[in-house]
Homo-oligomer: A and B are copies of this chain.
Amino acid sequence: METQYKEKTFFTSKDLALSVIGGRWKIAIIWCLLQQSPLRLSEIQKYLPDVNQRMLIRQLRELEEDKIITRYVYPVVPPKVEYELGEIGLLLEPVVTSICDWGDNFREYLEKDVNKNQLNKI
């Protein structure tokens, strides 16, 4: 989902939003930073073990370009970098929450389905 909003002239709200948060791991990253903030790269990696480092860094860069997150570099040795949600990024909380809520519903729905199938087998 690397269509940048900067390149296009017109967007509906959903297209604009999806161009920014539609990336493969972006919602997951934002979820992390809503759980705890700021986070160092290595900490995000612990939250998201399935994402390889290169991808994670790419997605973090894109989010940074779009001002969703802020990246603080401390000039120390060894390096210390912290990521944090910006003003507009924090407003994504309802999006993440509604997705998690729906996930809960979907899980229940799946379990109901399993029960139904088990009943059918009797």
| A residues lining the B interface (CB < 8 Å) | 1, 5, 11-18, 20-22, 24, 27-28, 31, 67, 87-88, 91-92, 94-107, 109-110, 113
Residue in B16, B31, B106, B110 whose CB lies within 8 Å of A106: B16
Copies of this subunit: 2
A87: which B residues are within 8 A, CB to CB? Answer: 109
Q: Which of B13, B100, B103, B113 contacts A103 (CB 8 A)?
A: B13
Q: Give Cα distance in the complex from A13 to B106, angstroms.
A: 9
Question: Which residues of chain B are within 8 angstroms of A107 by Cβ–Cβ distance?
Answer: 11, 13, 16
- Least distance between A113 CB and chain B CB atoms (Å): 8
The minimal Cβ–Cβ distance linking A7 to chain B, given in whole angstroms, is 13
A27, B18: Cβ atoms under 8 Å? yes
